[in-house]
Structure 1
Amino acid sequence: MSYKGNFKVWRGDADGGDLEDYVVEVNEGEVILDIIHRLQATQAPDLAVRWNCKAGKCGSCSAEINGMPRLMCMTRMSVFSESETITVTPLRTFPVIRDLVTDVSFNYEKAREIPSFAPPKNLGLGEYRMKQQDVERSQEFRKCIECFLCQNTCHVIRDHEENKENFAGPRYLMRIAELEMHPLDEADRERAAQEEHGLGYCNITKCCTEVCPEHIKITDNALIPMKERVVDRKYDPVVWLGNKLFRRSGSRH
């Protein structure tokens, strides 16, 4: 079963652009990326779009569909009515290169700012051991496919360009939380999260969690717990005294 679907697709580059109207054949079981590929093949061969696996695992085909950040390969046409006009636009938070392709290098710059895993220097081969519950705490965060939908929808950087310099965004604050939860990591993650990566900018609206295609509970399981530990470290008098007495750089929970 097929029908003619109405679409508005953003066309343009860094100098500007606009939505263009298209009528494209839609077949049963298809996703938005199928439509974009058919549009390229039949009407707009110069349409720029980024994609790779078409299986929801590479994160390449991120876009905004009817204003909602989504993966085009995981958004089924069946969720829309046949009479509905579907709008496909590039991620709004990042600079447009051309059409649906944006420059997401901001995210890689933030990734480079986070120090890697820092185990104790005196550990030898075979001594990198951790309990199963510690493995499970951070395992969820490793499902991230770096589609950057959470970064795109976070209003701290989406609506405030000036914040990008000082705010890593939910994806990389989650990375810091993952490292901070590792029992063998000795870097001062809590201080860095607050003072260098802008944890305090996050006001836990959970918009990042809502758009995550891997259903990672970014806010509840990474950002809020880390915020609580930062507050404990800075304001809890018992923790503060313990840090002073034992000369610890930060409490581990």
Structure 2
Amino acid sequence: MSERASDETETEAQAAPRRARLRIWRGDGATGGLADFTVDAHEGEVVLDLIHRVQATQAPDLAVRWNCKAGKCGSCSAEVNGRPRLLCMTRMSLFAPDEVLTVTPMRTFPVIRDLVTDVSFNYAKAREIPAFVPPPDLAPGEYRMSQEDVARSQEFRKCIECFLCQDVCHVVRDHEENKEAFAGPRFLMRAAELDMHPLDAAGERGLDRARGAQEEHGLGFCNITKCCTEVCPESIRITDNALIPLKERAADRKYDPLVWLGSRIRRRRRGD
């Protein structure tokens, strides 16, 4: 066989699809189970491609949430072989050719139907985090920050709110009763971002964000296992750069005697 013919044969072999086996959760919050499907998987495809092929050829009523298919909207969050992932960013090349892929909805949130879950818990928690407080002596357009402070906040603003960190956090994943008291890593990260923001004037209005995170949003429940960081598709260092520093600041403000004395003096002056 000539070298050219050998190259063409190799190219054809690479282009030929393989048969992929999927087990997909079908059902609602009350009943359901895993259903088996076999579909073609082409080179370079992601799990969401195969889910769409199942919809097109075998299960047109299969429910799956998705939007951008580019890893930026956070809509297609689910679990593949038990690991929280974005379906549109999970390449088939990650798995062995003969591996069965089990695709299930995010376990931490109630199932609406098939792979679609009710994530309204997260929006309720978002509303509980006090918003940025503008500095009283600066008008919009006059804000100035050092590049270091900008970069620190910018990391957290990469969040696409896929809620995979919320899903994997065992504080609520394994303990439904904690949901009322625990905001979860995504929103504790938001509190941390605002607490370290140099222009946030919350303190001038008597709002202690670190203490609020500890006493109102369940920061103490977090035991920094870094599982939230491991599943973040934007590679945000949630634990190291947000949660641990927030815990340190909360502890300082509660137990440091100088900080305690300063807060008492400020309160007395406001009372005067």
Q: State the partner residue of 1:190.
A: 210
1:36-56, Cα deviation, whole Å (9 max, x unpaired)? 000000000000000000000
Preserved CA contact (<8 Å) 2:132 2:194: yes
Q: State the partner residue of 2:115.
A: 100
Match for 1:11 among 26, 37, 42?
A: 26
Separation of aligned partners in 1, 2:186 and 2:36: 34
* Counterpart secondary structure, 1:135: helix
Amino acid at match of 2:235: H
Q: Which moved more, 1:239-248 or 1:36-45?
A: 239-248
Preserved CA contact (<8 Å) 2:76 2:88: yes
Separation of aligned partners in 1, 2:93 and 2:65: 23
By how many angstroms is 1:134 displaced?
1.3
Q: CA RMSD in A?
A: 1.5
Separation of aligned partners in 2, 1:124 and 1:62: 39
Map 1:149-188 to 2 at 5 A: 149-187=164-202, 188=208
Is residue 134 of structure 1 aligned with residue 149 of structure 2? yes
> Normalized against structure 2, the TM-score is what?
0.88
Amino acid at match of 1:227: K
Separation of aligned partners in 2, 1:240 and 1:25: 64
By how many angstroms is 1:196 displaced?
1.0
By how many angstroms is 1:28 displaced?
0.7
Separation of aligned partners in 1, 2:240 and 2:172: 20
By how many angstroms is 1:133 displaced?
1.5
Map 1:115-130 to 2 at 5 A: 115-130=130-145
Q: State the partner residue of 2:36.
A: 21
Q: Which runs of 5+ in 2 are unaligned?
A: 1-15, 203-207
By how many angstroms is 1:247 displaced?
4.9
Map 1:193-208 to 2 at 5 A: 193-208=213-228
Amino acid at match of 1:114: I
By how many angstroms is 1:3 displaced?
1.1
Is residue 111 of structure 1 aligned with residue 126 of structure 2? yes
1:204-228, Cα deviation, whole Å (9 max, x unpaired)? 0100000000000000000000000
Amino acid at match of 1:223: L
By how many angstroms is 1:195 displaced?
1.2
1:124-183, Cα deviation, whole Å (9 max, x unpaired)? 344322222211111100000000000000000101111111110000000111111111
Q: Which runs of 5+ in 1 are unaligned?
A: none
Q: State the partner residue of 2:246.
A: 226
> Normalized against structure 1, the TM-score is what?
0.95
Change (3 A) 1:194 1:248: farther
Match for 1:91 among 100, 106, 109?
A: 106
Over the matched positions of the two proteins, sequence identity in percent amounts to: 74
Q: State the partner residue of 1:235.
A: 255
Separation of aligned partners in 1, 2:54 and 2:68: 19
